[in-house]
Amino acid sequence: MPGRSLLEKIWDQHVIARLSEDTDLLHIDRHLLHDLGGSRGLLDLKSRGLKVHNPELTFATPDHALSTAPGRAGTSKIGMELLAALRVETAASGITLFDVDQPGQGIVHVIGPELGLSLPGATIVCGDSHTCTHGGLGALAFGIGSSELTHVLATQALIQKRPKTLRARFEGRLPLGVTAKDMILALIGHIGAAGGTGYAVEYAGSAIRALPIEGRLTICNLSIELGAKMGMVAPDETTFEFLRGRPYAPQGEMWDLAVKAWRELPSDPDAVFDREVVIDVEKIIPQVTWGISPEHVVGVDGVIPDPKAVDDPARRAAIETALEYMGLQGGAPIAGTPIDWVFIGSCTNSRLSDLRAAAEVARGRKVAAGVRAWVVPGSENVKREAVAEGLDKIFIEAGFEWREPGCSMCLAANGEVVGPGQRSVSTSNRNFVGRQGPRARTHLASPASAAASAIAGAIADVRMMGR
Amino acid sequence: MPKPFDKLTATAAPIMRSNIDTDVIIRIERLVGNGIRGTLGKWAFGSLRYLPDGSENPDFILNREPYRDAEILVTGPNFGCGSSREGAVWSLQERGIRAIIGSGFGDIFFANCFQNGILPIIIDKAMVDQLAADIEATQGAGKVSIDLEAQTIVSPSGARHSFEIDPRRREGLLKGLDEVALTLQRDDEIHAFQTADRTARPWIHSTRTPASRTSA
Ligand code: SF4
């Protein structure tokens, strides 16, 4: 029998019942709720006359519908209602809520790892597709829909089909100015936005081992943009060091027990994957998207694809549609494209290391005239730590706006939008049509690239900034 | 509880662009709030269906006869990728869509369809393209028939395609089963699992004693 992969080991540990050859009833270890769907799920459960099966395994925080303006000014009436409902329903069910202005509040995918709620080997779900983020700690984490959310509330279990496995190995040493965000965008460019559909992706290789946890979380975050609802990195010493002492991480003897179990999780050397991809990271340069799918990505020193040079009619039409929406010319260099907005934030890139990288570029410089640049920390704790380090001052002096933690302009659910026809460089994860507002044009990039672009007033190569 | 699905003969609309994400199917601001069910049908594909001034875009297929009444969508690769928002499925359902035929779907969207009694069918891309061409050849007048029990699709040209679907999912759709109720029948097994797991992995279950502070 061949060895087992990380996915298979975690999966097997969670099977409550085998429902068919490839479908199991899995135990769910952590269920995270947010303001957009949390109270709806709890109310749905109530209307069925059911109770939350395991409130102690369920945690909630508001992030999506909350304004990130100072003082939360501008949160919509519906956003306030959702927040009120989340408070009432979590309290009634005995679910811990990390509320506004409290340590612990933040984007669900930032707070899970930060609080030590997300652990290696755990199954973690949330009604949000970027739940794959938590896989950076060696968890089996994935997004679910509203019906599945109700199912988990009612049963603490979920019916899941065993996915195929894909191992993406990043090998080599990351060049200067190139980040985790660039690694994963390069992979998406390489295998496409549906390249991972039906798979659980394990990220491996020397470049992944060398990444700190926050970089691994960024990589796993974009698994869903690869089409894969699960992405994971095997836990190692870096993982254990990250988790040690976090509020919800195990303590004392229990910590030792847990680490012992976690050491057994990495894929066996002879584990077999349904698909393998190898990426040479030394060839990666900072990435930026030019179109309306994360797979529409080029190196920042590259050119926008020219539809006239493409033979396949379907591909040509797709490029034409994207360029028309984006207001770009095929064949032109992507760098130097003037921008209106910069957004540094989202569950992809709003952790302390992301803010440090952006601040490093911004320090002593000025945001270009005509550009509005926002920095939105991922959580209350990230905000406090950044302030303690003086990052907020660096940003404010450089002309960035420093905001309250939340999802903000990543999804434009609370009036925080990029205007029609305006162009933004964003550290988030989706450059979809209208994602940052009706007819908004989004270019995805790393925090360092986004900061460099804010200073330049145009899409910029951070490697040219001389730091 | 989802409505059962067995057979359907209906107008089908090809929407063949690749990577139509769930943000395009339904914009987020339509989904903010707890009372949104029943309000979403007119916002499905909003950015494609309406011009910036709010009027209907006459070029968009679902604004044209006879496609306006389509109950089946024929879609390009990776339809429903992106966000997990089940509102995407609700908006299609409220728009009258009951089945979607494509070469591949976003994983979460695919699962959400079954939860709402919508049948997503995966067939080869060449077959999808042929089906779309057959529909367009009749200007949409030719209907498409789907038989879930027999797992077949009949195109307006008379061509018959078979498809495969997970037997559990098929049964669930045919009978309109409620998964929550089914799983709760196994509650003893869930409790037995948790009891054993509390010994095997106590750190998963003892979440009520976080270190005194919640700041990291
Ligand atoms: S930051 Fe964006 S992608 Fe992440 S959870 Fe919030 S809305 Fe979703």
What is the distance in A from the centroid of ligand 1 to the CA of A55?
24
pLDDT tens-digit readout, A93-132: 999 999 999 999 999 999 999 999 999 999 999 999 999 9
- Could you give the CA distance from residue A133 to residue A111 in angstroms, rounded to a whole number? 11
For A219-277, the DSSP string reads HHHGGGGGT-SEEEE---HHHHHHHTT-TTS--HHHHHHHHHHHTT-SPPTT---SEEE
Q: Which residues of B touch A261 (CB under 8 A)?
A: 201
Residue-averaged pLDDT of chain B: 93
Q: Are strands B144-147 and B7-10 parallel, antiparallel or unpaired?
A: antiparallel
Specify the DSSP class assigned to residue B150: T
**Atom 6 of ligand 1: nearest residue by CA position:** A407
> Which of A19, A145, A430 lies at the smallest CB-CB distance from B168?
A19
Counting atoms of ligand 1 from 1, which one is nearest the CA of A378?
Answer: 1
pLDDT tens-digit readout, A49-69: 999 999 999 999 999 999 999
CB atoms B201 and A261 under 8 Å: yes
Please give the pLDDT value at position A467.
Answer: 60
Q: What is the mean pLDDT of each run of 10 residues along chain A (467 residues)?
A: 94 97 97 96 96 98 95 89 96 97 96 98 97 98 97 98 97 96 98 95 98 98 97 98 97 96 98 97 98 98 96 92 97 98 98 98 98 98 98 98 97 90 98 95 98 98 85
Please give the pLDDT value at position B211.
Answer: 63
Per CATH, which fold does B7-177 belong to?
Aconitase; domain 4 (3.20.19)
Residue-range domains of chain A with CATH: 6-275 (3.30.499.10), 288-465 (3.30.499.10)
Strand partners, A33: A60
CB atoms A81 and B34 under 8 Å: yes
Please give the pLDDT value at position B63.
Answer: 96
- Could you give the CA distance from residue A30 to residue B184 in angstroms, rounded to a whole number? 19
Q: Is the four-CA dihedral B30, A380, B209, B201 of positive or negative sign?
A: positive
> Which of B23, B189, B206 lies at the smallest CB-CB distance from A435?
B23
CB atoms B216 and A321 under 8 Å: no
pLDDT tens-digit readout, B75-114: 999 999 999 999 999 999 999 999 999 999 999 999 999 9
Q: To test the ligand 1 pocket, which listed residue (A82, A109, A184) has its Cβ within 8 A of the most ligand atoms?
A: A109
Which residue, chain included where needed, has tokens 């907020």? Answer: A392
What is the distance in A from the centroid of ligand 1 to the CA of A83?
17
pLDDT reading at B215 higher than 70 = no
ipTM of the prediction: 0.94
**Atom 4 of ligand 1: nearest residue by CA position:** A347
CB atoms B183 and A115 under 8 Å: no
Q: Which residues of A touch B108 (CB under 8 A)?
A: 129, 143-145, 224, 229
| A296: its two tokens | 């529409």
Residue-averaged pLDDT of chain A: 96
Residues with CB under 6 A from ligand 1: A 63-64, 107, 109, 128, 130, 346-347, 407, 410-411, 428-429
Counting atoms of ligand 1 from 1, which one is nearest the CA of A346?
Answer: 1
CB atoms B107 and A228 under 8 Å: yes
Residues B101 and B130: beta-carbon distance below 8 Å: no
> Which of B29, B47, B216 lies at the smallest CB-CB distance from A381?
B216
Where residue B216 falls among pLDDT bands split at 50, 70, 90?
very low
Please give the pLDDT value at position A142.
Answer: 98
Please give the pLDDT value at position A314.
Answer: 86
Spell out the domain ranges in chain B. Answer: 7-177
- For the CA atoms of A192, A196, A198, A202, the dihedral, rounded to the nearest 10 degrees, stands at 180
Residues sharing a CB contact under 8 Å with residue A149, sequence separation 6 or more, in sequence order:
A31, A33, A37, A41, A125, A127
